[in-house]
């Protein structure tokens, strides 16, 4: 069974500082990987995704993530955070089944706090 671990429940970062959110996955085949962000009381917004090809993927809002197969990781990074980045971040893994996307497995999320 596939699983996702986000080891950090809470992370506090100063505004302007760099950010790295960790994600480790367990999956038997080639995964496809996502990072989503969720503001309080809102749905999920896609930040970026990885299916194949270049292991460094660029997303919206200045985020990027690197897929490392040997470490089963897909960490999210941003060089300089803004106060508006404060939110809950979810890593998710899935597979492609029969030509279509199957259900995603999500981690428990990392709550990002931005200090002024």
Partner 1 sequence: DAGVTQSPTHLIKTRGQQVTLRCSPKSGHDTVSWYQQALGQGPQFIFQYYEEEERQRGNFPDRFSGHQFPNYSSELNVNALLLGDSALYLCASSWGTRENTIYFGEGSWLTVV
Shortest Cβ 108–partner 1 spacing (Å): 5
Looking at the Cβ atoms of 16 and 102, the one nearer to partner 1 is 102
Binding partner 1 by CB under 8 A: which of 8, 22, 27, 44?
A: 44
Taking CA atoms, 18 is separated from 41, 70, 72, 83, 96, in Å, by: 26, 24, 22, 12, 33
CA distance 57 to 106: 19
Q: Which of 11, 27, 49, 75 binds partner 1 (CB under 8 A)?
A: 49
Among 52, 54, 70, 116, binds partner 1 (CB under 8 A): 52
106 neighbors 6 (Cβ within 8 angstroms): no
Told to check if 40 binds partner 1 by CB under 8 A, we report no
Can you tell me which of 16, 102, 113, 115 binds partner 1, judged by CB under 8 A?
102
> Which positions lie near partner 1, rule CB under 8 A?
4, 32, 34, 36, 42-46, 49, 51-52, 90, 92, 96-109
């Amino acid at each position: 069974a596939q699983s996702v671990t986000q080891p950090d429940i809470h992370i506090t970062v100063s505004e302007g500082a760099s950010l790295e959110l960790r994600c480790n996955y367990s999956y038997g085949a080639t995964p496809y990987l996502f990072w989503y962000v969720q503001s309080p009381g809102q749905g999920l917004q896609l930040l970026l995704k990885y299916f194949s090809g270049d292991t460094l993927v660029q997303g919206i809002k200045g985020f990027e993530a690197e897929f490392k197969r040997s470490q089963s990781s897909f960490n999210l990074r941003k060089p300089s955070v803004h106060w508006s980045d404060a939110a809950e971040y979810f890593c998710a893994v899935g597979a492609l089944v029969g030509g279509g996307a199957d259900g995603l497995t999500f981690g428990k999320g990392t709550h990002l706090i931005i200090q002024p």
